[in-house]
Structure 1
Amino acid sequence: MRRLLVTATLAAALPALAAADEVTDTIQSAMEAYEAGEIQFAIDDLQYATQLLQEMKADSLTGFLPPAPDGWTRELDTEANAGLAMMGGGSVVTGRYSGTDGNFELTIMLDNPMVAGMAGMFSNLTMLRQMGQVSRIGRQPVLNQNGELTTLVDGRVLIQASGADPEVMMPFLEAMDFEALADFAS
């Protein structure tokens, strides 16, 4: 009986052990293509593996979007990562919030060249003020440019809220843990 139980347990576990994750399989395929001299195939596989990893990172980013308060709903979207690959890569997640005070999107974008290009602007408050109204959440500057709220955390994480009145969106930004987001990004 004991032998039967062990055999049944192993048989049940084998499919899970045999199925390696898609990232590992794709990287292995790239290595095999490289060794066979199929350079373009290796490049394609490595780019696909990178995209899969970015999607995994975007899924982790969803934890930094504030939950929907009472009377609100939140829909998550991590599908934009595929398109982001064409703009230099990175990870992005969007929360679509709907409530009695309006609807808006709150987006977190990480490690994209466009985001890195904004670091100089956000470190210079004089320049930032020429672009719109600047307020702060703690020490974090928030740019209100024609009703769209934008902030840059740790020079690598762009946060944008758009679609509703800034007074409606600002509490959602205030609920975010910028320190934890900076730690996640590094």
Structure 2
Amino acid sequence: MFRATSFALLMLSVANPALADEVTDTLSSALQAYEDGDIKYAIEELDYAKQLLQAMSAQELTSFLPEPPDGWTREIGESDMNVGLSFLGGGAAAEATYSDGTETFTISIMADNPMVAMFGGMISNAAIMGLKTHRVGREKFLFDDGDLTGLIDGRIIVQASGADPEVMIAILEEIDFNGLKEFGR
């Protein structure tokens, strides 16, 4: 399967040089190393291709961070979250800081990390655990220790922290949760 996929990517990039990019070049290099018997280098190239693809995924995830409302600014974080995720089983993350000069808070989105699933039970059972929840559109967010945390589609965590819940909810409501559910599919 790997050989067929790599061969198809290689042929696609050869047939149309405009489609060649760093990912296809790296996959081609991995395939060549494999064919040359250099398994160690093939693995290194595959790991690098995975990093490149995860960076592309994180960039796509950034598009779900809401635009700031009038009077607010948004700064997209060059977060180390994606590096940390690689040690925790992979996935993608994006983060932005919002400020109106008085209030400042952060929205983080983390997708497709194995640790995300553990939050599902906690959010589902928030009332039993005595924790407060808020609705953001049709999504349920747990409010704990100043953080709003929602589990979207069982695989994506959206978290806002650093300001009054009502301030954060107003901006969280701008997230396209239906589109976010389709992320990576």
Q: TM-score over 0.5 for the alignment? A: yes
**1:22 aligned residue:** 22
Cα displacement (A) at 1:163: 1.4
- SS of 2:90's equivalent in the other structure is coil
Structure 2 unaligned residues grouped into runs of 5+:
1-15
The 8 Å contact of residues 61 and 109 in structure 2, kept in 1 or not, is answered as yes
**Which AA in structure 2 matches 1:167?**
E
Distance 1:79 1:52 in 2: 15
The 8 Å contact of residues 68 and 74 in structure 2, kept in 1 or not, is answered as yes
- SS of 1:64's equivalent in the other structure is coil
The 8 Å contact of residues 101 and 168 in structure 1, kept in 2 or not, is answered as no
Per-residue CA deviations over 1:108-164 (Å, capped at 9, x if unaligned) read 11111111232333344545xx16211212331100111111001001110011112
Higher-Rg structure is: 1
**Which AA in structure 2 matches 1:95?**
A
Distance of aligned partners of 1:79 and 1:138 in 2 relative to their CA distance in 1, 3 Å threshold: closer
- SS of 1:89's equivalent in the other structure is coil
Moved over 4 A (4+): none
RMSD: 2.1
Distance of aligned partners of 1:57 and 1:131 in 2 relative to their CA distance in 1, 3 Å threshold: farther
Distance 1:165 1:140 in 2: 18
The structure carrying a bigger helix percent of its residues is 1
Q: How do residues 6-155 of structure 1 correspond to structure 2 at under 5 angstroms?
A: 17=17, 20-80=20-80, 81-127=82-128, 130=129, 132-155=131-154
Distance 1:150 1:63 in 2: 19
**Which AA in structure 2 matches 1:27?**
L
**Which AA in structure 1 matches 2:149?**
T
- SS of 1:160's equivalent in the other structure is strand
- SS of 1:70's equivalent in the other structure is coil
**2:168 aligned residue:** 169
Identity of aligned residues (%): 51
* TM norm structure 1: 0.82
Distance 2:150 2:51 in 1: 25
Distance 2:169 2:88 in 1: 28
The 8 Å contact of residues 109 and 159 in structure 1, kept in 2 or not, is answered as yes
Cα displacement (A) at 1:185: 4.0
Distance of aligned partners of 1:42 and 1:131 in 2 relative to their CA distance in 1, 3 Å threshold: farther
- SS of 1:149's equivalent in the other structure is strand
**Which AA in structure 2 matches 1:24?**
T
Deviates more, 1:117-126 or 1:169-178: 117-126
* TM norm structure 2: 0.82
- SS of 2:69's equivalent in the other structure is coil
The 8 Å contact of residues 104 and 162 in structure 1, kept in 2 or not, is answered as yes
Structure 1 unaligned residues grouped into runs of 5+:
1-15
Cα displacement (A) at 1:84: 1.9
Cα displacement (A) at 1:70: 1.2
Aligned length: 169
Deviates more, 1:37-46 or 1:106-115: 37-46
